[in-house]
């Protein structure tokens, strides 16, 4: 998927069959200034543009500040792909990772099995070679909720659409549905329900190609995620996600964080079509080299 980076994802939402049924709830107006009812059929209205403001996309667990992984020997970012025999190119403070107290609840640790922990450590040591985000793959759930990109929620009674700025990732939440997923998918299969004023979403049928963060935290195709969205006030959602994957984890575990509404005038979810940014990184070695005379 190619295209400019200045087109609002409102256009993407309008073309979605799922969104067409719910956009009628919106009052005509500029993006970021659209007025919506406080509740929809008695339930909190989560429609709006939201974003996490933490360090979870680097590492869900507590961690100290550290240099960026772009300093791995022999590996260099896209911008320097044409530098012959480029060495590791540290970005200094611009490539660093900020510290964090973490978002994993309980003891703060992800409960890997011993075998899975070894894979996680290998992933972390080879982050820039293995992280699906570097390759512009869809982020999966829950990672898509706390990457440093806004997410637009369009809420209806029977269907909710969530569209991320990153790689045009989107998912449709079918409310109170018994429909089964036709196949595994990058963003999974989402079935929603209301428990009081909390939106609860069961996410299943994800593939095993996504990670939780840049620290190598991973899962298998058996992953099941239960998300919980609770509106704390008009501009804050308390977001929780509980992960269960018996192939990788010894027990279920949970993350929790706030999501903040974008309230600035004329707020938009833009397009970040990153496929073209990684062509050199992924396929540059296949380019035919000129023959030596």
**pLDDT band at residue 290 using 50, 70 and 90 as cut-offs:** low
**What are the pLDDT digits (tens) for 44-95?**
999 999 999 999 999 999 999 988 755 444 444 444 344 444 445 556 777 7
List beta partners, residue 243.
Answer: 225, 253
pLDDT at 66: 86
pLDDT reported for residue 184: 95
- Between residues 281 and 17, the one the model is more confident about: 281
Instruction: State the first-to-last Cα distance of the chain, in angstroms, to the nearest integer.
Output: 39
Average pLDDT of the residues in 209-217: 97
Would residue 32 be called left, alpha or beta, if left means φ above 0 and alpha means ψ between -120 and 50 degrees?
Answer: left
Q: How far is CA 278 from CA 40, 154, 200, in A?
A: 41, 30, 35
Q: Distance between CA atoms of 178 and 175, rounded to whole angstroms?
A: 9
Q: Using the structure block, give the residue that is written with the tokens 């660093």.
A: 96
Residue 170 CB partners (closer than 8 Å, separation 6+): 12, 13, 16, 161, 162, 163, 164, 187
Domain architecture of the chain: domains with CATH? 10-85+102-286 (2.40.128.20)
pLDDT at 207 over 50: yes
Least confident of 85-89, 186-190, 238-242, 261-265: 85-89
- pLDDT class for 42, splitting at 50, 70, 90? confident
H or E element that contains 17 = helix 17-20
- How many whole angstroms separate alpha carbon 241 and alpha carbon 254? 6
The C-alpha atoms of residue 91 and residue 199 are separated, in whole angstroms, by 41
Element (H, E) at 239: strand 236-244
More confident of the two residues 104 and 14: 104
Q: What does the alpha-carbon distance between residue 167 and residue 160 come to, in Å, rounded to a whole number? A: 19
pLDDT beyond 50 at 257: yes
- d(CA 87, CA 75) in angstroms, rounded, equals 7
pLDDT digits over 126-164, tens only? 888 899 999 999 999 999 999 999 999 999 989 999 999
Which residue did the predictor score with more confidence, 293 or 46?
46
* Residue 247 CB contacts under 8 Å (≥ 6 apart), including other chains: 116, 220, 222
Q: What integer best gives the mean pLDDT of the chain?
A: 84
- Tell me which of 124 and 13 has the higher pLDDT: 124
Which whole number is the average pLDDT over 84-113? Answer: 81
């Amino acid at each position: 998927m190619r295209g400019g980076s200045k087109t609002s994802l409102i256009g993407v939402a309008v073309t979605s069959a799922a969104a067409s049924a719910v956009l009628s709830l919106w009052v005509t107006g500029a993006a970021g200034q659209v007025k919506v009812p406080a509740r929809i059929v008695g339930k909190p209205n989560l429609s709006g543009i939201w974003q996490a403001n933490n360090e979870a996309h680097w590492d869900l667990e507590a961690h100290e500040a550290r240099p960026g992984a772009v300093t791995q020997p022999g590996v260099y970012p896209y911008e320097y792909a044409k530098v012959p025999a480029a060495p590791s190119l540290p970005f200094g403070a611009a490539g660093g990772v900020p510290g964090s107290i973490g978002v994993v609840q309980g003891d703060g640790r992800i409960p890997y099995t011993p075998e899975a922990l070894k894979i996680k450590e290998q992933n972390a040591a080879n982050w820039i070679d293995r992280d699906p985000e570097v390759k512009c793959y869809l982020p999966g759930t829950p990672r898509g909720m706390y990457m440093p990109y806004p997410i637009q929620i369009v809420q209806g009674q029977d269907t909710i659409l969530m569209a991320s700025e990153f790689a045009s990732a989107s998912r449709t939440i079918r409310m109170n549905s018994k429909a089964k997923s036709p196949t595994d998918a990058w963003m999974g299969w989402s079935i929603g329900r209301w428990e009081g004023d909390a939106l609860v979403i069961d996410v299943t049928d994800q593939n095993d190609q996504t990670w939780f963060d840049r620290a190598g935290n991973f899962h298998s195709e058996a992953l099941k995620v239960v998300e919980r969205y609770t509106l704390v006030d008009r501009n804050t959602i308390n977001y929780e996600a509980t992960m269960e994957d018996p192939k990788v984890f010894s027990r279920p575990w949970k993350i929790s964080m706030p999501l903040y509404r974008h309230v600035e005038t004329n707020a938009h979810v833009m397009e970040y079509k990153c496929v073209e940014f990684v062509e050199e990184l992924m396929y540059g070695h296949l380019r035919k080299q000129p023959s030596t005379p």
